[in-house]
């Protein structure tokens, strides 16, 4: 049964203002979701424009198509992930690209998706049904050390080892199958709730990010977006936590620099001058207003960053910014 998929887009006006879509433009929405930002872009680009969009979640795509039905003649939607975008869109074909990262409200609100520790549901957390790995696989099969490392690196959880140990002990008695099972185990492991945030918040974040390879997908998404952007086009990213934000900033700072570092320490005397490939526009991130936060509390952690493309990334060095 198809459930309702109503998602309130964050930083809506700010994103449209930054991207500045014009009549006849071609845009790409890499995280279609419920079609919130897409609707504003479609209205601005008019009947001569075109919007390409993608999402991993078929429920989101179905909802967006209903929401955007009046624009069907200028909207092309494909189910898939960031890494696949430049396989079906040619280089330098888009005037602007939007990436609204993280998880959408409907995905959290629907218990059967397994994203929420506040609702009883299967321990799933997959953003797309074609994915095989589930959160329950990680919790039940990974060894204690790997779980601790995961909670520490992707959840930034300071009590990672204690939580991983509690999970390891509990699953010897019974496998983890539901979100409430895991949430209760984590809560007991840390001695109950001691702050406004549920103690399982970071654990669930880490599991979700691992199941969906969110940081890996973001790396591919940034490179793919740059390939399909025209010179002078803009890439807008909305991030919700520090790990996403760091990747976006690293990409922008590396390719926006007017020099290449000569060593790992970035010694000034060894810097090699070069033309930048990107520029921040504006230089600082844009955050939700007080009014928006009051209407939509989930916008509190949102940060919009916008980059303008100066030139294509150097062939064969697209991944230099990652350090790999």
CATH number, domain containing residue 206: 1.10.150.170
Give the separation between CA 163 and CA 166, rounded to whole angstroms.
5
Residues 229 and 295 in one domain: yes
In a domain, 63, yes or no: yes
Angle at 317 between CA 313 and CA 322, to 5 degrees: 100
pTM beyond 0.85 = yes
Residues 224 and 270 in one domain: yes
Over residues 73-121, the pLDDT tens digits come to 999 999 998 888 989 999 999 999 999 997 766 666 677 787 788 788 9
- Which of 150, 176, 211 marks a domain boundary? 211
- 244-275 in b/e form (b: 16+ CB < 10 A) is bbebbbebbebbbbeeeeeeeeeeeeeeeeee
Q: Which two tokens stand for residue 207?
A: 């599991």
Residues 232 and 313 in one domain: yes
In a domain, 120, yes or no: no
Residues 218 and 86 in one domain: yes
Q: Please state the length of the chain.
A: 324
* Structural domain span for residue 231: 12-104+214-322
In a domain, 113, yes or no: no
Work out how many domains the chain is built from and give that number: 2
Give the separation between CA 3 and CA 18, rounded to whole angstroms.
33
Over residues 198-236, the pLDDT tens digits come to 899 999 999 999 999 999 999 999 999 999 999 999 999
In a domain, 127, yes or no: no
């Amino acid at each position: 049964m198809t459930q309702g998929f109503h998602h309130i887009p964050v930083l809506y006006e700010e994103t449209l203002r930054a991207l500045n879509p014009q009549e006849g433009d071609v845009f790409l929405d890499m995280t279609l979701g419920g079609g919130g930002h897409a609707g504003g872009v479609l209205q601005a680009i008019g009947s001569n424009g075109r919007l390409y969009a993608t999402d991993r979640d078929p429920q989101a795509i179905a909802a967006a198509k209903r929401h955007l039905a009046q624009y069907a003649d200028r909207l092309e939607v494909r189910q898939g992930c960031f890494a696949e975008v430049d396989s079906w869109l040619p280089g330098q074909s888009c005037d602007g690209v939007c990436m609204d990262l993280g998880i959408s409200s409907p995905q959290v609100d629907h218990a059967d998706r397994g994203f929420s520790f506040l609702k009883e549901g299967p321990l799933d957390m997959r953003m797309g049904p074609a994915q095989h790995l589930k959160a329950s696989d990680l919790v039940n099969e990974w060894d204690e050390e790997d779980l601790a490392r995961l909670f520490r690196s992707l959840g930034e959880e300071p009590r990672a080892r204690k939580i991983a140990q509690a999970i390891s002990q509990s699953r010897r008695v019974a496998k983890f199958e539901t979100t409430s099972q895991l949430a209760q185990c984590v809560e007991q492991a840390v001695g109950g709730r001691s702050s406004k945030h549920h103690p399982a918040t970071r654990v669930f974040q880490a599991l979700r990010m691992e199941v969906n390879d969110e940081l890996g997908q973001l790396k591919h998404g940034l490179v793919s977006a740059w390939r399909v952007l025209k010179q002078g086009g803009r890439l807008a990213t909305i991030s919700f936590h520090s790990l996403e934000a760091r990747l976006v900033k690293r990409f922008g700072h590396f390719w926006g620099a007017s020099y290449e570092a000569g060593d790992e320490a970035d010694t000034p005397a060894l810097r090699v001058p070069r033309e930048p490939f990107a520029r921040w526009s504006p230089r600082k991130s844009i955050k939700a207003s007080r009014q928006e936060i009051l209407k939509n509390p989930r916008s509190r952690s949102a940060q919009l960053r916008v980059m303008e493309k100066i030139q294509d990334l150097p062939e064969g060095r697209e991944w230099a910014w990652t350090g790999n």
